């Protein structure tokens, strides 16, 4: 994960946005191919796919576009309002409580006060960490494990991690869809052992920059 500059990272992020959407969707088991994702994001309907898969791709495309604008206008920050906004987009077709921590919405059970406390603790830990690369890894591991929302947790964590990286001049980490089982195993290990070493190593291994 080599240092760069913010403008270059943002430019590369915009150029590779369809690939980021495609890989994020594939991690959810989505059936769209990369050419089909490009077509759908261009506003052309693609047939022979479940309606849920199409909605998921479009929601991811909108979320990545929102992230692009937040970073581009210097408005991306590691706070709950940004995370809620991105989750509201990616999970809007999957949960009536999209954009709200578990327990904040219609399903009152879920420990919302505890989750807000954990998020505040995550912010404090990140603020004490000087390296943006480590900040991004810590954020993804913590958010994916804690599962702040009723749906879309991994996608939201991925978006936030991407925002941290590109706003600090680093390329986004792309997790290839074909490595879905590796990701699931690393997440299971984190939940079972409270040790993020395997997941962090996996993310770093996925961090090879795309070609210009």
pLDDT band at 8 (very low <50, low <70, confident <90, very high): confident
DSSP string, 23-57: HHHHTTT----HHHHHHHHTT----SS-HHHHHHH
Give the domain range for residue 126: 6-205
Q: Token pair for residue 59?
A: 């929601």
* Number of domains comprising the chain: 1
CATH of the domain at 91: 1.10.3290.10
> Model pTM?
0.93
d(CA 22, CA 205): 19
Average pLDDT over residues 154-181: 94
The per-residue pLDDT for range 52-111, each reduced to its tens digit, is 999 999 999 999 999 999 998 999 999 999 999 999 999 999 999 999 999 887 765 656
Helix axes 153-166, 17-26, angle to 10 degrees: 150
At residue 212, the pLDDT reads: 40
187 lies in a domain? Answer: yes
pLDDT band at 7 (very low <50, low <70, confident <90, very high): confident
The per-residue pLDDT for range 151-167, each reduced to its tens digit, is 999 999 999 999 999 99
Virtual torsion, Cα 195, 131, 151, 60, nearest 10 deg: -140
For residues 126 and 138, is the Cβ–Cβ distance under 8 A? yes
210 lies in a domain? Answer: no
């Amino acid at each position: 994960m080599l240092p760069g500059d913010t403008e270059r990272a943002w430019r590369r992020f915009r150029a590779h946005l369809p690939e980021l959407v495609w890989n994020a969707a594939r991690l959810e088991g989505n059936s769209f191919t990369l050419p089909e994702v490009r077509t759908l994001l261009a506003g052309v309907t693609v047939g022979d796919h479940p309606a849920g898969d199409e909605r998921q791709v479009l929601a991811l495309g909108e979320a990545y576009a929102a992230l692009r604008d937040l970073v581009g206008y210097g408005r991306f920050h590691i706070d709950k309002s940004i995370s809620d906004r991105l989750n509201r987009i990616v999970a809007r077709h999957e949960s009536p409580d999209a954009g709200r921590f578990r327990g904040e919405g219609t399903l009152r059970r879920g420990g919302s006060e505890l989750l807000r406390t954990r998020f505040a603790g995550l912010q404090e830990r990140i603020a004490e960490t000087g390296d943006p690369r480590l900040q991004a890894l810590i954020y993804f591991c913590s958010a994916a494990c804690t599962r702040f929302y009723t749906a879309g947790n991994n996608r939201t964590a991925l978006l936030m991690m991407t925002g941290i990286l590109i706003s600090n001049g680093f390329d986004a980490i792309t997790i290839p869809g074909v490595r879905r089982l590796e990701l699931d195993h690393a997440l299971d290990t984190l939940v079972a052992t409270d040790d993020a070493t395997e997941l962090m190593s996996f993310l770093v291994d996925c961090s090879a920059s795309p070609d210009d």
